[in-house]
């Protein structure tokens, strides 16, 4: 077990990481607790929740992204008020990214902000969304459009929860982990030397701590995403988000992998990334998603990138692409050129499949 400190300007956050973290730290949470979880996690861990948190009030969201809504947020507030949650109470977010995002936002707003402890139960939430204080709900069809930066006082990351995670959810977490490998040379080394262990939970436990250490450092430097350091965490996300908006069927982590694969083509074409390094990243990606989709309308889908929050203007697309081991580069391209290159990449993948 290891404690990683995220020294944000707004709050110092402690991330307890490793096997046994839940048994050690969740039982020590003091004061009045208000638990927020989802229906899947509750069904699997009801016994553990009751044993650990006694009769603390528990709000169970229906599992799935649809729960990140105004409606659910206000249902949470109703229960918090009904249960007499006070300014000295603590919200405990026990679940994946959906639970973490909405519970974090509820905690940030309730009585102008009460403590929140994140206990992520998916690999994706462990390596990414539970750390860094981004909270949000979706509104009017726009993902994460209403939210706040609100640091958890503690994050408890325990591999205990990963044993029940479906393989697809592991793949989603691996999407973000491979992203880290493209911006952190230590993680790149670990993954490329152990690419046969990507689905091994013991191996993932150590890599998870590496990813959290990386993210904690970046967020400590750039808590509110203003200086550029935090931008690097968006590697692969420009195209990933564009495809996510257009095709919808896959989940975020899978689209991050597909987005990185397509952007590697652009980075190579533009002379930013060397071929052998691009090949080694592609090899990692295809360990997780064997068949990268050769989308027939990729060029059209890529135009969705104009809605990306990172762009200052809609005609220019900004993306963080791999450059060399441990180094990324912010590439800005006119949207038409970007979409054409994405179309070319799809064509190339089609050709390789024949």
Residues near ligand ADP (CB under 6 A):
38, 40-41, 44, 63-64, 95-99, 121-122, 124-125, 129, 161, 164-165, 169, 172
**CB of residue 132 vs ligand ADP: minimum separation in angstroms?**
14
Smaller CB distance to ligand ADP: residue 165 or 289?
A: 165
**CB of residue 124 vs ligand ADP: minimum separation in angstroms?**
4
Exposure string over 6-18, b if 16+ CB within 10 A, otherwise e: bebeeeebbbbbb
Smaller CB distance to ligand ADP: residue 106 or 325?
A: 106
Tokens of 68: 């990140």
Smaller CB distance to ligand ADP: residue 101 or 154?
A: 101
Nearest Cα to 256, choosing from 177, 327, 183, 176? 176
> Which residues, 6+ apart, have CB-to-CB distance to 50 below 8 Å?
none
d(CA 236, CA 190): 20
**CB of residue 269 vs ligand ADP: minimum separation in angstroms?**
31
Nearest Cα to 176, choosing from 153, 148, 204, 150? 204
Smaller CB distance to ligand ADP: residue 163 or 291?
A: 163
Paired residues of 115 in beta bridges: 90
**CB of residue 9 vs ligand ADP: minimum separation in angstroms?**
26
Q: Give the H or E element holding residue 145.
A: strand 142-149
Smaller CB distance to ligand ADP: residue 94 or 302?
A: 94
Determine phi and psi for 251, rounding to 5 degrees. -105, 170
d(CA 230, CA 79): 35
**CB of residue 98 vs ligand ADP: minimum separation in angstroms?**
4
Smaller CB distance to ligand ADP: residue 173 or 343?
A: 173
């Amino acid at each position: 077990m290891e404690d990683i400190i995220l020294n944000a300007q707004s709050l110092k956050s402690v991330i307890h990481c490793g096997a046994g973290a839940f048994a050690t730290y969740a039982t020590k949470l003091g004061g009045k607790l208000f638990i927020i979880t989802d229906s899947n996690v509750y069904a699997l861990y009801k016994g553990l929740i009751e044993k650990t948190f006694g009769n603390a009030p528990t709000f169970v969201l229906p599992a799935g992204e649809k729960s990140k809504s105004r409606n659910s947020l206000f249902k949470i507030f109703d229960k918090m008020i009904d249960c007499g949650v006070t300014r000295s109470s603590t919200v405990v977010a026990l679940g994946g990214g959906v639970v973490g995002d909405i519970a974090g936002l509820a905690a940030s707003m309730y009585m102008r902000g009460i403590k929140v402890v994140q206990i992520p139960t998916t690999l994706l939430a462990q390596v990414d969304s539970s750390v860094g204080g981004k909270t949000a709900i979706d509104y009017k069809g726009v993902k994460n459009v209403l939210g706040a930066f609100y640091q958890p006082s503690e994050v408890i990351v325990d591999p205990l929860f990963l044993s029940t995670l479906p393989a697809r959810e592991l793949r989603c977490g691996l999407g973000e982990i491979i992203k880290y490998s493209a911006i952190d040379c230590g993680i790149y080394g670990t993954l490329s030397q152990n690419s046969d262990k990507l689905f091994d939970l013991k191996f993932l436990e150590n890599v998870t701590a590496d990813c959290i250490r990386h993210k904690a450092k970046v967020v400590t430097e750039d808590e509110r995403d203003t200086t550029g350091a935090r931008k690097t965490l968006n590697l692969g996300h420009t195209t990933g988000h564009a495809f996510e908006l257009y095709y919808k069927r896959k989940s975020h982590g899978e689209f991050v992998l597909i987005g990185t694969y397509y952007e590697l083509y652009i980075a190579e074409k533009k002379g930013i990334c060397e071929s052998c390094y691009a090949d080694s990243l592609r090899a990692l990606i295809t360990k997780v998603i064997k068949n990268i989709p050769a989308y027939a309308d990729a060029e059209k889908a890529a135009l969705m990138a104009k809605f990306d929050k990172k762009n200052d203007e809609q005609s220019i697309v900004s993306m963080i692409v791999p450059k060399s081991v441990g180094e990324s580069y912010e590439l800005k391209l006119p949207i038409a050129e970007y979409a054409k290159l994405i179309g070319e990449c799809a064509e190339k993948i089609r050709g390789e499949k024949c």
